[in-house]
Structure 1
């Protein structure tokens, strides 16, 4: 009878020794007792008789239906190589109740919507994983999920325990989750309490290993101090043996429990054919422990248990500090996200209804009272309140908020009550954008990091070669002495400091910038800011506040009395109602006429009234607009009827920013789509070197491209949709706090506050970050160049090598951490 793929059957008789596989252990003789069989998937003891699942070499034993189903699925997908790549370690399949709970998350569209992002190929979704043990797990997941119809790409991150899925069918996320759960891995949405608990457990485990290594290193050093100082003579040999044995007992759990991640990492690298920095570490630890044990058994006087324990402690300390620094930026916005309310009161008709914050859509009217936190970005339509925005801006004092003010999710009402019109769903709020751009920043790999990833295997092989040369050079002096010098070379050349030099500095820099009100989506752009040669600014909403007001109007015959223009102003207000351009906001408070067929056009709008076509758009260049204003022209059936003059206020912090950048020798320019008069007036007021008016997006890109070709890297600062192409083209791009969604996505740097002041300090932060990177790399390289010859010459004992290597890593770590005090320590 043919069996359906993916199912397993229970065998009714004990397996033969041949079928039991390598995990079986015989308990009795001549068949008098059953055979203990281990599950081929997770390694647990299987029942007798076991469950069976198909495999390349025939049927394999399983401990439960879950593991059997996982093994059958792997076989049906043609992925049996997973067991060869993985080795003996495995993960148990989740039980049915746990699996159903995990899959239930993927049946709620509102939950998935919070984590989906648009992608050119469809949609992109990030999932949290658990149960991954090595690179073979990543290989299996990518192969298994990549075969599902609708999947465009699958990328796993072993360090972050995440899966990034790109797809174009709505049913794909649940199908992927179901397949991964069948394979025995945990999969859930980011922020799920189960995944958070797993991450906390891993953090506690690392901290526990570090604590054990620290205590063990101190104890082992205490026992070894008497041996190093030579205070024990021949009559005290029994005490020397006691100290050696005590050092052995203390160091063994440090090496093989606390240091297990290094052995595991070394084995993974070897199995994948890419030896990494864990290989010389594991080799040094293994040689120090085993060599000391052999030397002690043969009656030798030198043991290095204390060196091995101290080596593990300082390596784990560096790893813990790196992890803590790396997660600091993510934790900042995660705390903000967790502070958002789960429910909010929405006005429906004449009443209020409690709804989930995830269900809020643009245009919903929300009611908020004193003490509540705003769940989405929105505009105040009624009421006054004192609003605390310290979680977003760092400003400790609350500010007043009233009708027309834009408030962001995460702000808390200290006093008062408000009615708020939601500007966008929760998934499009400032908090959500921060999370997206933090993820983008963490996924970006700097050229130095990519280069180190390529050089690391060569560096490891070079270290092993130097160790072999050292062993050969000193062999004539005796195997024990040659072993000691070789061990010192392996320890002293640990590339931890080199590996940490760039990532730790970048992580500290991102945290410092965020504290100063700048969200960095592209670390490479931030580091490039110190090498910029000029800046190109947009005008409206960037150097100006973007809050236009009507400064006057005039008919073609010269009439400037606004009372005579009341009907024409009502037509203009109707055309501009709902237009996204900042100029249109000047008409929001004016009474509007009734028009039909209103359409938003490039640079204006059109509509009909009683058969007549009305159009509004930029006035021609010969329109005599007052200085500092932008001119619009209202036409009726193509005939000019009214000139409208709009005035925008310059940002008060614009002049200090430009002066600070001018002192750096940068050329400052202005590119705007506004009219000649307004652009020229602002450029003259701020002392800009050049300006261009009536620029289209393409013209901004062309100008920026020419400047970068002739002068060098340029920074672009903008806020609008028309600035997005130039932001993508610039070496460094900055989107202001009031920028459009497209501009934010195009920019590498994003201001969290409606204030340009942080940009004044940002080049100095970039310079200090680059200096820190250079200092760390110089120190790490210089240390290795100095220490390696000394160790090969036999002038550095293993304990001193461990101390020097650890000190080198700690110096790099603390030097990078100094940036976290920005800006207080440098301003």
Structure 2
């Protein structure tokens, strides 16, 4: 009889040993020999005493594939996509495989923690993820190599191996659910005969046989299908923070163990059917909750996976394929029929139909030609386009969505955070209540007291309370995403219902932000032609980030102008030793009918006015409908802009806004919003520019438009995915629906516990009824939350 491998438990190979502490330990392959040697050299032999399962056998990957996978961790450009910068260092999340128990997590954390450059290591057994914080560039490669030597698989997020692992875990959960469902039905079928007293008049052999069959059916349901609850309970105990899995695991253990003891002692009470039903309904709730919780992330991952790894870059007429991550602002890219754009860009030449359903949800393609913007993720259905990249992959709208998704995942609503603090106390209270119930009914006999205590453990499972808020919020995030709003701060979505007013930015928010010069007038006697003055203005504004500056892109730059610099309002530079400046026109009179509502600029030569310009920017087509919809909520609508009085007043009058202020600096916008919040109540800020960021940060609810600046989108809690303001109109109704769902779920969960717990303590609820009631409570909460995810606005 061959011995077993001391590392993985597989049959050992003949004459293959590892020498340790004067012992010859059998192993099955060189991989396990290397892993055992490394564990011993690191002083981590406690791993073999802590683990509850076998290590992952080596040899699953071909040597070439293993080398390829490890080589990925030495490429900074690949790691950069999955990294974030923290005060402690760079933070990297990796996908793991081969973990079997908490001992594997212990071994990984201990083995990686002493690698030079590693600040901290954390593992998540349930998510099969490793979070690494490090300060040296070679640390990820060293960690990956060491984990591979230990026999664990490590991949970058999005790697096909990681996706295969997640699919396997999902199939495993579904398999556990199927086993629990079949087992619960079968166990109930046999228990029904016992409950109705079919064998009370005799046939004790059949009574015992039915109980034995119930044991055989319930055992795999409890200990295989219900294994995640035992794992969760153990992790909570080890961390010193018992969670809701603890009373579940205890109830399952007592139901199964108590039934076995009763059978052995010839007692009447068995609870195999209750345990099986308990596991089935809990797994069903967990499966539904998992699907809903991952919906927002899955929508993002689907879009992210659609981006191409390669793109054709055109340089002086020569085209070559390059990796998408090598694209920088200004690169010319050739897009052929059927190809997907990896970056945001502007069309330089060509015409084509571009479909962006993956990003905007709009099923119909849009025709794009020279001067039109196209976004990353857009697929060219017909034609050929030459586009100029607006920036690298990391600056695209897709990357912005990634940032917002990460924020949404990392920021639970206040009610969720409160529940996490209360959950351990709730769990301890449940255990104490079960013990009290056992003592109260001791006089009726140990079996009866045990039954009532078990019913209390089952009926008070906090699953419904724990799921009430997160599932409702998750459903709201999914519904918002379908309506074109990405929620980075769930708390801000819930705060929409308490708003008292909205403060809008003008340019690029209520207007399209596409300015054009509609009139220009020379001033003074500077001796310059209008063409020269326009070229000077164009050279000054060429690199200004404000949308006003784009009105001059069609004019040629004056080659003599140098040292142009962006000012707080406008720009300045020197031409042949003379200072030129462009900025707002301080004399903002009404003008004639043709230019009323236009933005006015002045071009100065040594602070002498030389050219007055009128720039026009039309309101967004949907702006009037959106402001009417928000005004119908009883909110006060206001406009704050850095433009002059004429343009701001005209737009406010056109849209029927309650109040407006012109020539506002970022600090003035913030101060006005804070004063409104003090006098009226919570305010919403809607903006798109860098100058809107202070007000966005100060607002109770902040919304950035789809083409917002990087600073504005980071300051905002809500982000519009589609161009325009139309998704704003659905926000109030969606926020009310989410809050109503939370109230319904919390009310039901609390009412159920307040009703069921006293009955269980009084001994009026048998364990099988407790399992059914608890499961029905959790399922009701889950189903009600899923209705939020399917919510449709009346305007859809």
Same topology, TM > 0.5: yes
My pick for the range that moved more, 799-808 or 522-531, is 522-531
Tell me if the contact between 1:733 and 1:749 (Cα under 8 Å) persists in the aligned partners.
yes
Cα distance change of structure 1 residues 598 and 152 upon mapping to structure 2, 3 Å threshold: farther
2:431 to 445, 464, 482: 464
Tell me if the contact between 1:265 and 1:278 (Cα under 8 Å) persists in the aligned partners.
yes
1:768 to 720, 737, 744: 737
1:664-715 per-residue CA deviation (whole Å, 9 max, x = no partner) reads: 2222222222222222222232232332222222222233333333333221
Give the aligned partner of residue 18 of structure 1.
none
Give the aligned partner of residue 775 of structure 2.
806
Are 1:640 and 2:585 counterparts? no
Deviation at 1:613, TM superposition (A): 2.4
Cα distance change of structure 1 residues 431 and 245 upon mapping to structure 2, 3 Å threshold: same
My pick for the range that moved more, 104-113 or 522-531, is 104-113
1:705 to 674, 683, 686: 674
**1 CA distance for matches of 2:499 and 2:189?**
55
Cα distance change of structure 1 residues 83 and 245 upon mapping to structure 2, 3 Å threshold: closer
Are 1:274 and 2:247 counterparts? no
1:676 to 602, 620, 645: 645
Are 1:653 and 2:653 counterparts? no
Are 1:572 and 2:541 counterparts? no
1:757-804 per-residue CA deviation (whole Å, 9 max, x = no partner) reads: 111111211111111111111111111111111112121111111111
Cα distance change of structure 1 residues 52 and 395 upon mapping to structure 2, 3 Å threshold: same
1:173 to 136, 140, 144: 140
My pick for the range that moved more, 568-577 or 237-246, is 237-246
Cα distance change of structure 1 residues 675 and 184 upon mapping to structure 2, 3 Å threshold: farther
Deviation at 1:663, TM superposition (A): 2.4
Deviation at 1:588, TM superposition (A): 1.2
My pick for the range that moved more, 436-445 or 489-498, is 436-445
Deviation at 1:76, TM superposition (A): 6.9
**1 CA distance for matches of 2:312 and 2:548?**
33
1:401-446 per-residue CA deviation (whole Å, 9 max, x = no partner) reads: 1111111122122222211111122233222322332122112122
Partner of 2:338, secondary structure, is coil
Give the aligned partner of residue 366 of structure 2.
399
Tell me if the contact between 2:524 and 2:609 (Cα under 8 Å) persists in the aligned partners.
no
Are 1:663 and 2:625 counterparts? no
Cα distance change of structure 1 residues 431 and 234 upon mapping to structure 2, 3 Å threshold: same
My pick for the range that moved more, 64-73 or 94-103, is 64-73
Tell me if the contact between 1:388 and 1:412 (Cα under 8 Å) persists in the aligned partners.
yes
1:817 to 758, 771, 786: 786
Tell me if the contact between 1:53 and 1:69 (Cα under 8 Å) persists in the aligned partners.
no
Deviation at 1:144, TM superposition (A): 5.5
**2 CA distance for matches of 1:139 and 1:700?**
52
**2 CA distance for matches of 1:155 and 1:725?**
35
1:343 to 273, 298, 310: 310
Tell me if the contact between 1:110 and 1:358 (Cα under 8 Å) persists in the aligned partners.
yes
1:332-359 per-residue CA deviation (whole Å, 9 max, x = no partner) reads: 1212222222322221322321223333
Tell me if the contact between 1:52 and 1:62 (Cα under 8 Å) persists in the aligned partners.
no
RMSD: 2.9
Are 1:610 and 2:576 counterparts? yes
Tell me if the contact between 2:505 and 2:641 (Cα under 8 Å) persists in the aligned partners.
yes
**2 CA distance for matches of 1:527 and 1:493?**
28
Cα distance change of structure 1 residues 304 and 590 upon mapping to structure 2, 3 Å threshold: same
Cα distance change of structure 1 residues 171 and 311 upon mapping to structure 2, 3 Å threshold: same
My pick for the range that moved more, 590-599 or 279-288, is 590-599
Give the aligned partner of residue 316 of structure 1.
283
Give the aligned partner of residue 706 of structure 2.
737
Cα distance change of structure 1 residues 699 and 139 upon mapping to structure 2, 3 Å threshold: farther
**1 CA distance for matches of 2:138 and 2:106?**
23
Partner of 1:234, secondary structure, is coil
Cα distance change of structure 1 residues 120 and 304 upon mapping to structure 2, 3 Å threshold: closer
**1 CA distance for matches of 2:284 and 2:630?**
40
Cα distance change of structure 1 residues 825 and 49 upon mapping to structure 2, 3 Å threshold: same
Give the aligned partner of residue 4 of structure 1.
none
Equivalent residues in 2 for 1:677-696 (5 A)?
677-696=646-665
Deviation at 1:81, TM superposition (A): 7.4
Deviation at 1:824, TM superposition (A): 5.1
My pick for the range that moved more, 133-142 or 596-605, is 133-142
**2 CA distance for matches of 1:147 and 1:623?**
70
Partner of 2:157, secondary structure, is coil
Cα distance change of structure 1 residues 422 and 481 upon mapping to structure 2, 3 Å threshold: same
Give the aligned partner of residue 264 of structure 1.
231
Give the aligned partner of residue 716 of structure 1.
685
**2 CA distance for matches of 1:530 and 1:49?**
70
**1 CA distance for matches of 2:603 and 2:26?**
79
TM-score, normalization by structure 1: 0.89
Are 1:543 and 2:510 counterparts? yes
Give the aligned partner of residue 597 of structure 2.
628
1:486 to 439, 453, 464: 453
Cα distance change of structure 1 residues 125 and 675 upon mapping to structure 2, 3 Å threshold: farther
Cα distance change of structure 1 residues 786 and 53 upon mapping to structure 2, 3 Å threshold: farther
Tell me if the contact between 1:130 and 1:186 (Cα under 8 Å) persists in the aligned partners.
yes
Partner of 1:114, secondary structure, is helix
TM-score, normalization by structure 2: 0.92
Tell me if the contact between 1:93 and 1:183 (Cα under 8 Å) persists in the aligned partners.
no
**2 CA distance for matches of 1:146 and 1:660?**
55
Give the aligned partner of residue 16 of structure 1.
none
Give the aligned partner of residue 558 of structure 2.
593
Deviation at 1:604, TM superposition (A): 1.9
1:712-743 per-residue CA deviation (whole Å, 9 max, x = no partner) reads: 32211111112222222222111101111221
Cα distance change of structure 1 residues 273 and 826 upon mapping to structure 2, 3 Å threshold: farther
Are 1:111 and 2:75 counterparts? no
Cα distance change of structure 1 residues 219 and 670 upon mapping to structure 2, 3 Å threshold: same
Partner of 1:606, secondary structure, is strand
**2 CA distance for matches of 1:767 and 1:52?**
68
Tell me if the contact between 2:53 and 2:101 (Cα under 8 Å) persists in the aligned partners.
no
Are 1:429 and 2:396 counterparts? yes
2:321 to 354, 358, 364: 354
Partner of 1:505, secondary structure, is helix
My pick for the range that moved more, 569-578 or 161-170, is 161-170
Are 1:754 and 2:719 counterparts? no
Are 1:204 and 2:166 counterparts? no
Tell me if the contact between 1:217 and 1:251 (Cα under 8 Å) persists in the aligned partners.
yes
Cα distance change of structure 1 residues 318 and 52 upon mapping to structure 2, 3 Å threshold: farther
Give the aligned partner of residue 758 of structure 2.
789
**1 CA distance for matches of 2:55 and 2:746?**
39
Cα distance change of structure 1 residues 693 and 522 upon mapping to structure 2, 3 Å threshold: same
Deviation at 1:547, TM superposition (A): 0.5
1:98-145 per-residue CA deviation (whole Å, 9 max, x = no partner) reads: 653332111223322332345566644332233445566556655655
1:213-242 per-residue CA deviation (whole Å, 9 max, x = no partner) reads: 101111111111111122334243333233
Cα distance change of structure 1 residues 154 and 620 upon mapping to structure 2, 3 Å threshold: farther
**2 CA distance for matches of 1:62 and 1:632?**
84
**1 CA distance for matches of 2:35 and 2:673?**
56
Partner of 1:273, secondary structure, is coil
Cα distance change of structure 1 residues 179 and 714 upon mapping to structure 2, 3 Å threshold: farther
**2 CA distance for matches of 1:185 and 1:134?**
13
